[in-house]
Amino acid sequence: MYRIEFREYPIMWVACHTFWTLYEDDWLIGELHGLATDRETGMSQAVGTTRDVLRAWPYPMMGQEQKMKPAEGGFSGLYALDQAHKVVFTGSKEEAMAIWGRALAAAQALNDLDIVYHILGGLPSELSTGNSNSAFRTFGDVMGLPMPDLEAMMRPGDRKNLLPRESYASLYEGAVVAA
């Protein structure tokens, strides 16, 4: 059985970074994050500034094991066994991979937009700025998954979708289904 979870990585007990995880039975097989990324080095940043760009970071990356038993750190270093999480989808491999494939297509579309990173997500109507939680919202909307509330933490930017809804159909058609 496959499942997709919503997870919260706490930041100083006040706010959180939200991300998606994909499982095959008890194996973690994917993480999807939006992260501040240095424009020059291409490296993710723990705390971003407006000099950075928002990029989607799908895991596992090249050179990593393709699946793991959930453990501290996970693929990204942001996965914790005790962090708040909620299952938002369970189903067959085909269903899960089709949904996850849409998120990966949205990740590529988001990266192509060259969005300026803004720690609070930027203005709701301004799609040229966003943060990790805006990326999370965008991936969830494209996958068609619910946005549950877990902890009483702030999730700045999580109400902002960075891709226009009219682009979803092309993302669904272009989604690559991982085997």
Question: How do residues 135-176 score in pLDDT, each as one tens digit?
Answer: 999 999 999 998 877 666 778 888 888 888 888 877 776 555
* SS3 assignment, position 17: strand
Q: Residue 103 has what pLDDT?
A: 95
Mean pLDDT of all residues in the chain? 87
Q: Residue 153 has what pLDDT?
A: 72
CA distance 140 to 114: 20
pLDDT tens, 96-137? 999 999 999 999 999 999 999 988 877 666 777 889 999 999
Q: Other CB atoms closer than 10 Å to residue 113's CB: what's the count?
A: 14
E strand or H helix at 20: strand 15-24
**β 116-117/129-130 pair status:** parallel
Query: Does any domain span residue 39?
Result: yes
Mean pLDDT in residue range 13-41: 93
Q: Residue 152 has what pLDDT?
A: 61
Copy the structure tokens of residue 22: 């994909």
* SS3 assignment, position 30: strand
Query: Does any domain span residue 144?
Result: yes
Query: Does any domain span residue 135?
Result: yes
**Using an 8 Å Cβ cutoff, are 118 and 125 in contact?**
no
Count up the domains in the chain and report the number: 1
In the chain, DSSP finds a helix count (H) and a strand count (E) of 3, 7
Query: Does any domain span residue 179?
Result: no
More confident residue, 36 or 155: 36
Query: Does any domain span residue 64?
Result: yes
Mean pLDDT in residue range 67-92: 89
- Indicate if the pLDDT at residue 179 is higher than 50: no
Query: Does any domain span residue 50?
Result: yes
Q: Which residue, chain included where needed, has tokens 């966003």?
A: 130
Domain span at residue 159 reads 2-174
E strand or H helix at 99: helix 93-112
Q: Residue 119 has what pLDDT?
A: 81
Query: Does any domain span residue 148?
Result: yes
Query: Does any domain span residue 86?
Result: yes
Mean pLDDT in residue range 66-82: 85
